Amino acid sequence: MQTSATPLWILTAIAAVAFLPRARAPRPVWLYRVSAVLLLIGLSLAQAIQDRRSALAIPNLAPQIVQGLRQRMQPGDLCLLERAIPGAESVPAFTLPRDSRTPERFEFAYWSRWYAGFRYVLVSQTQIRQNLERDAAIARHFYQRLATDGRIVEEYGDPVSYRLFEIAPESTWRQPLTREELAALQPAPELAPFLSGLGSLYAEHGNRRAAMVLFEMGVRLDPQSDALANNLGSIYLLEGEWQEAARIFQSVLDRRPDSPEVLYNFARALFELNVYVRAETMYRKAIALRPDFAAAHYELARCFLQQDKKLLAAAALRKYLELEPNTPRRPEVEEVLAFLASQGVRAPASGSGVEPEME
């Protein structure tokens, strides 16, 4: 698709004619003003055409960008995308939220400290120009930090539409985000879902501490968000903070008593606190709501073994193998079943269960 530049030439020509020397009457003031306005309109149209071409180039550049990210990124690396890139779902990336009608709605997302765990940042030249034209202070500071702490490792498009920056590991950008920094921020209506998405990405790729501080802030901003609370409790579980995990899951169950995932996670915390009877009750409730919940059958078997309920443990383990026949735990489970069959008991090691259910 081609966009004609004819209007720009016409307007430029009209503006130029106004300034041609004339032998007779001096040019009126209104003609200067009209010419200036026409020239500005022409320049605006030229920029709009360039932006339109950049937008049309995104689908063409997307495969090249995604392929480049796949080749560069190592396990644990994260990439920040200033604009959505088709196909980028296949790489560990987070896209800045954007509202073209009310850009200030998501200005908080340009705080560079959110992305302390990110190695790469892909910026859009069109978006940079738009942010600088409306004098968005936080975005301007974001670009300044990026220029200071990062280096350009790839450019895409001709002329350049996107630049990929790599952030130096020793830079201040990469210093871990702290609870004290978050406490100083002003709440925003869109902040809680933003924290949920960003925290989930951190958690998924191994940065549990960053996920924890983001989920904690999200729960403070939106105490009624069950997803945020469940995710925070799951991180507490993974970090071995059993009491905090149990407290969080109990609060979610008070509002959402029929969630199999939350019941399961609450039971995990209770098990680690040696509260086996109540943990068994929670596992049973989770399975009643979701009979094919394989992880709950496995953990319930561990709970039975701790209470010396051998037959129930064997039944739960067999159900687990029925639901997950290809589980990597199969040799371990079969060994336990063999011990139970000969009246020996050996529960799987504590902490070897399935990871918490996150939302």
Burial 206-244, CB ≥16 within 10 A → b, else e: ebeebbbbbbbbbbebbeebbbbbbbbbbbbbbeebbeb
Q: What are the backbone angles phi and psi of residue 122, rounded to the nearest 5°? A: -105, 115
pLDDT at 342: 84
pLDDT at 64: 94
Average pLDDT of span 86-110:
93
Q: Tokens 């590991």 — which residue?
A: 169
pLDDT digits (tens, 9 = 90+) for 137-172: 999 999 999 999 999 999 999 899 999 999 999 999
E-assigned strands of 134-247? Answer: 150-156, 162-167
**pTM, two decimal places:** 0.75
| Helices and strands per DSSP (H, E), number in the chain | 14, 5
Give the pLDDT band (50/70/90) at residue 268. Answer: very high
User: What SS3 state is found at 328?
Assistant: coil
User: What SS3 state is found at 115?
Assistant: helix
pLDDT at 162: 96
pLDDT at 269: 97
Nearest Cα to Cα of residue 235 among 75, 113, 94, 357: 357
Pull the structure tokens for residue 216: 């904690």
Whether the upstream peptide bond of residue 159 has omega within 30° of 0, thus cis, is: yes
User: What SS3 state is found at 79?
Assistant: strand
Q: What percent of the chain has pLDDT over 90?
A: 70
- Characterize the bridge pairing of strands 120-124 and 162-167: antiparallel
Note whether 219 and 228 are within 8 A (CB): yes
Average pLDDT of span 177-185:
90
pLDDT at 20: 43
pLDDT at 29: 55
User: What SS3 state is found at 283?
Assistant: helix
Q: Minimum mean pLDDT among 18-32, 93-107, 124-138, 340-354: which range?
A: 18-32
Pull the structure tokens for residue 49: 């055409």
Residue 218 in this model has a pLDDT that exceeds 50: yes
Q: What percent of the chain has pLDDT over 70?
A: 79
Residue 347 in this model has a pLDDT that exceeds 50: no
Give the pLDDT band (50/70/90) at residue 26. Answer: low
Average pLDDT across the chain, whole number: 84
Radius of gyration of the chain (CA): 29
Note whether 79 and 73 are within 8 A (CB): yes
Average pLDDT of span 115-134:
95
pLDDT at 210: 95
Taking the mean position of all CA atoms in its chain, how far away is CA 346? Answer: 40
E-assigned strands of the chain? Answer: 79-81, 93-95, 120-124, 150-156, 162-167
Give the pLDDT band (50/70/90) at residue 42. Answer: low
Catalogue all structural domains in the chain, each as residue range(s) with its CATH number.
6-57 (no CATH), 176-274 (1.25.40.10), 292-354 (no CATH)
Q: Minimum mean pLDDT among 11-15, 67-71, 125-129: which range?
A: 11-15
Task: Give the integer Cα–Cα distance in Å for 152 and 110.
Answer: 19
Task: Give the integer Cα–Cα distance in Å for 192 and 50.
Answer: 35
Q: Minimum mean pLDDT among 8-12, 67-71, 168-172: which range?
A: 8-12
| Distance set, CA 334 to CA 290, 297, 317, 324, 346 (Å) | 24, 15, 9, 13, 11
